[in-house]
Every structure is written in C-alpha cells, then in structure tokens.
Structure 1
Amino acid sequence: MERVHFEQEQMLDELKDLVEKGVFTVKETKEIVRRRTAFETALVRRVSKKTDFLRYAAYEMSLEELRRKRVERLKIPTTPATISSYSLVRRQFHIFERALKKFKADVGLWIQYIKLAQREGARALVGRICARAIQLHPGTPSLYILAASHELKAGQSPAAARALLQRGVRMNKESVEMWREWVRLEMVFVESLRRRWEVLGIVEGPTTISAGGQKNGKGKVKGGEADEETGEGETEVEKQAEKDDDAGAAARKEIMEGAIVKTVISSAAAAVPKMSLFREVERVVEEHPASAGLREAVLGHLYGVVRSTLGGDAEAVGMLAGRHVKGLTSLRGVEVVEALQLANEEYLRSGLEREHGEFVKEWCLKDIDEALKKYLVCSKKD
C-alpha cells in the first residue's frame, strides 16, 4: 500500500489548485481521491490486469475533459499556467508508462499511448514513444507508419519520414501496408515540391541570369552585347551555367512526372508481386489530390508494372482492362466506344477466354449501342 499512499500525496497540490480556481468543489475532490485510491489499489495487486490501467486512464481522460469544459464555461483564466493546467494529462501519460512496464509486448497499448500523446499535442513525447515501440517491435508496420506520419505532421520532415518507412520496408519486405504508405509519402512529397516551386516561380527550362542580361528560356540573352540569334559572345562560365540550368530543369521535370514514385512502385512489385499490393497502390494514387499529369504518369507506370509482373493473371488483366472503362460518365458516345475497344483488346491479348466471355456478357446486358454489342460478341472466341 505504500505506492497507493505515495500517489495520494502526489495529487494533493493539483486538487488544492483545482479547488482554489473553482473548477471542482471540495466534495468533488474527495470523490476524485476515493476513485483514484480504488484504481491505485487495483494496480498494486500481485497480478494486475491491462484493463485496470485502461479504466484508470479512461477516468483521467473524462476528468480532464470535464475540467476543460468548466474552465471554458466559467471563463477561468488559463494564463499563467498552474499545476492543475497539465497535471491530469501528465497523470494519463504516467498511467500508460506504468502499464507498458508490465505489458511491453502489447502493441495495441503502445499505439493507444501514441495516439493519446498526439491528441494532447505532445510532439516530442510522440517521437520518443515511437522510437521505443519500434525498437521493441521492429516487425510491426503500423508503428513505422505512425512514426512517419508524426514526422510529416509535426516537423514537416519528409526526409525523416522517408527514412522511417525505408527502415520499415527493410524489416517488413512483404508488407503491403508499408509499401502503400511509402508510395503515399512520395506522392505527398512531389505535390509539396510542385506547390513550393510554383510559389518560388521556378519553371521548366533554363532561367540562368548572365552578367550581360537575362536569359529568355531559349538560350538567348536580352540586354547584353551577345548576338541575340547566334548566342555568340558567351563566356565559358555562361555556357556551363546554361548546361547546369538545363540539367536542373530536366531533373525537375522527371520529379514532376513521378520518377521517385515510379521507382518505389517498381521496388514494391519486385518485393511483393501480388494483386493486393497493386490494388492498394492504385487506390492511393487515384485518391491523392495530385495534378492530373502526375496521376496519369504514375498510373501508367503502375499498369505497365502489373502487365510485366502478373500479365497472365486473371485479376491483373481485369485491372488492366477495367482502367479503360472506369469512370465513364455515359454509356453513349465515342468515349464509350474507345474505352470498350481498349478493354476488349486487353482480354484478347491475355487469352483468358472465360474472363473475356464474362466481360462481354456484362457489357451486353448494359444499355449500350447494338452495334457495339455486336462488336463485343463477334470478338469473343467460341
């Protein structure tokens, strides 16, 4: 019971502060002491249970929520901060720390602790908890993903988030979840670069400024003494600068076309050649708020990887054919004819007669042009 008495002593200052501020009454603080004593007594039993810790933490969370509502309703000044301003949250962290000393192997408990710290805005603590959790459970993908997400949201550090996901992939090469999140990270990175470059006014093509004037994007100089048509009179330094600028523009163009994302997708396909991976990556790319050009380039690469990796698989052919008819807004017009032709050709190339027959049957039951139905039926092998 010594531990129970110690915890009772620790709560005296905060309860006194809560009463002085008018947040809780004396009667209410006595009830708080009684409830906490019961929880502490359960924790010091010879065989404590995880549910005892969780019930205790849930009680402290509800108590903190009540405190905040009363502070807002009674318009109690929040500055300067006093011990009761943070003691209830600190006690929640303390309960989870005690729980994890007994249940280190419980991944769910680590994740609950991380989410609690995130909710309370304890950024530094989140990083430390993630590091400890990953060290104990290197084979758990969700921990790497949580840690990478924290790095992106808290510190806006794509490099740190990428390093965490790369480490997670090395430890969990066959995890579809890990590869999916890596692709998502690179999509976010490219989109953030695009927006940053737009703000900075960086455009594709050379924009080097020479000593005699400004380049106009075609290798010519305005306002200098060089010949405007031939470019004669340029120094070696200017020529080298132009080459470097062209190389930089080419690199930026490749990044904007998804070169980094494509590399990750290719690596993922080599490690996990499964349709579950390709479906997840397709969903991530389609749902991400990226530019249309980037999305089309990445999806084109993905479908090429699917064809080269699982070209004869029925589900893979279904994906390759289905991409053409996905998102059709109408069953009439040139758009439908072209889409069905491309999808039909995918099935014909695959040689999957049964799947092709099901595709033809499905579309013949739809309200499409009779000539188009006849084309599909005639293309089907008997």
Structure 2
Amino acid sequence: MLDKIQLSLERTADELRNFLAKKLYTEEEVNEIIHKRKDFEYKISRENKKLTDYLRYLEFEIALEKETDMKRKHRHISSGLIEIKNTRRIISIFKSALKFKYDERLLIQFIDYLEEKECIEEMKEYFATICLLRFNDMDLWIFAGHKLFQCKEIDAGRLLLQKGLRINSTFEFYLEYFKIEFAHFQCLLNVSKEMGMEPCEFELEDGAILIILFREIYKLFKENTNFDIFLNMISEYSLVKEKFCEIIENN
C-alpha cells in the first residue's frame, strides 16, 4: 500500500515543481499540499475506506485546481501539459470513487466536471462503459443520452439511446427518448427560422428520425393505456400532429 501511495505522489512531482518555479505557491504551501495528498491517498487505499474519503479528496483537488487557475490568470501564466495531467488525475479519482460505490450525485458532479473541462470524448467513453455496467438503470441511460445531446454530440447520444432501447424496450424509455429527439428537432427548426429559413420540417434528417421513432412507438405501444398521454404531448404542434395522425391513419 505504501508503495502505491508513494508512486501516486511521485506522479505529482512535476506539478509541484512547477508551482514553485512559477511562484504560484510557497515551499511551505507545497509541503502542505504534499501532506494532504499523502493523507488522502492513504485513506482511499486502506481496506475500510469510505466514499466520504474520495469525496473529501475530490473537494480538495478541485478547490486547489480552481485556486491555481485563478493565480495563473492573475499573473497571465498560460496552462500546459502539467495542468492537463492534473485534470487526468482528478478524473481518475472520480472513476475510482464511482467504481468503489456508485452514487448518482457523484456521477452528476463527475459529468459536470468533464463538461467544464471540455473532456467530451472522456464523457462519451465513460457513459458507454457505465451504462452497460448498469444496463437495467433506465434513468442513467436517459441522463447520459440527454447530456450528450446537450453537448451537441447528437450521433453519440443517439447511438447510446438506441442501444439502451434494445435493453430497456419499455414504453417509458421510448417516450423519454422521443422527448429528447423532439426537443432537439424543435431547436433546429427555431434556429432555421431565426436565420430566415423555412425548411420543410420532415425533409430534415432529424425529422426523418423522429418519424421512424414515432412509427416504432405506435407499432409497439398503440394499445398501451398511456399512449394518449404521448399523443397529447405532441398535440400542441399542429404540423407535427398532422404528420403523426397521417401515420396512424395509414397503419
């Protein structure tokens, strides 16, 4: 265990030397950082570790990172490879914590951190892994897909949600996926109109995907007692309602 702790601390040596060289922290402050990291590493390495040990470690590292960023900006010091390595360390601590004990609030904090640091590829990879590990957690699949859509990773979001549909092929999952696609579609239409364009809604690729999804929902769940709720959800959009009613009449 001590070797593991020592190795982890040695990996931060370049960062600490950089702190001193750039005069971001005094030698006394750097020694205090080393002391705290050693203590945190010991706590998350012991057999009777707790999730709170990880949370306090993350709280310390994220606060230190923010403080360092503020000092760099104040002194007009650009960031570089060392800062990237430190971000990777924090990501690693998040992953270790979630592997030790899955916690929804911690997951959201982790994803928010990845988004803030623009580590979108890391986010995509993590979602793909955690969703398969917790394949029966429908809320997780929906959260992941929705977040990817928010980050403009539409293809990745669709791929994830469609994979989720094959595992959780319930009316509720289809409905939540439809809501995500529908919101994205409406956003595209609004942007087009703001730009003075009037595209035929269902000639757009995203409109075609929406139609395919609606047909699938109708085919599988038209007898579902909650299907009327689904229809009422889209009834306020007249053109969309006409198109979907046409699909119903032809089936």
Q: Which residue identity lines up with residue 4 of structure 1 in the other structure?
A: I
Deviation at 1:53, TM superposition (A): 1.1
| Partner residue in 2 for 1:139 | 136
| Partner residue in 2 for 1:99 | 97
Higher fraction of helix: 2
| Partner residue in 1 for 2:125 | 128
2:19 corresponds to 1:22:
no
Q: Residue 126 and residue 280 in structure 1: after superposition, are their counterparts in 2 closer, same or farther (change >3 A)?
A: farther
The aligned runs of 1:46-195 (5 Å cut-off) are 46-74=47-75, 76-78=76-78, 81-83=80-82, 85-103=83-101, 106=102, 108=104, 109-157=106-154, 159-174=155-170, 176=172, 179-189=175-185, 191-192=187-188, 195=191
Contact 1:57 1:95 in 2 (8 A): yes
How high is the sequence identity, in percent, across the aligned residues?
A: 22
Deviation at 1:132, TM superposition (A): 0.7
**More relative contact order, 1 or 2 (CA 8 Å, 6+ apart):** 2
Task: Tell me which structure has the larger Cα radius of gyration.
Answer: 1
Q: Residue 271 and residue 154 in structure 1: after superposition, are their counterparts in 2 closer, same or farther (change >3 A)?
A: farther
Contact 1:19 1:25 in 2 (8 A): yes
Structure 2 CA distance for aligned equivalents of residues 77 and 2 of structure 1? 34
Aligned pair count reads 242
| Superposition RMSD in Å | 3.8
Contact 1:176 1:272 in 2 (8 A): no
2:226 corresponds to 1:274:
yes
The Cα offsets for residues 295-328 of structure 1, whole Å up to 9 and x where unpaired, read as 134467899xxxxxxxxxxxxxxxxxxxxxxxxx
Q: What SS is found at the alignment partner of 1:138? A: coil
TM-score, with normalisation over the residues of structure 1? 0.53
Q: Which residue identity lines up with residue 119 of structure 1 in the other structure?
A: E
- Show structure 1 runs of 5+ residues with no match: 205-248, 287-291, 304-382
Structure 2 CA distance for aligned equivalents of residues 99 and 259 of structure 1? 41
Q: What SS is found at the alignment partner of 1:48? A: coil
2:9 corresponds to 1:3:
no
Contact 1:134 1:144 in 2 (8 A): yes
Contact 1:100 1:110 in 2 (8 A): yes
Deviation at 1:70, TM superposition (A): 1.7
The aligned runs of 1:296-311 (5 Å cut-off) are 296-298=238-240
Deviation at 1:259, TM superposition (A): 4.3
Q: Residue 142 and residue 24 in structure 1: after superposition, are their counterparts in 2 closer, same or farther (change >3 A)?
A: farther
Structure 2 CA distance for aligned equivalents of residues 117 and 194 of structure 1? 28
Contact 2:165 2:173 in 1 (8 A): no
Q: Residue 89 and residue 130 in structure 1: after superposition, are their counterparts in 2 closer, same or farther (change >3 A)?
A: same
Deviation at 1:45, TM superposition (A): 1.1
Q: Residue 172 and residue 4 in structure 1: after superposition, are their counterparts in 2 closer, same or farther (change >3 A)?
A: same
- Show structure 2 runs of 5+ residues with no match: 246-251
Contact 2:128 2:160 in 1 (8 A): no
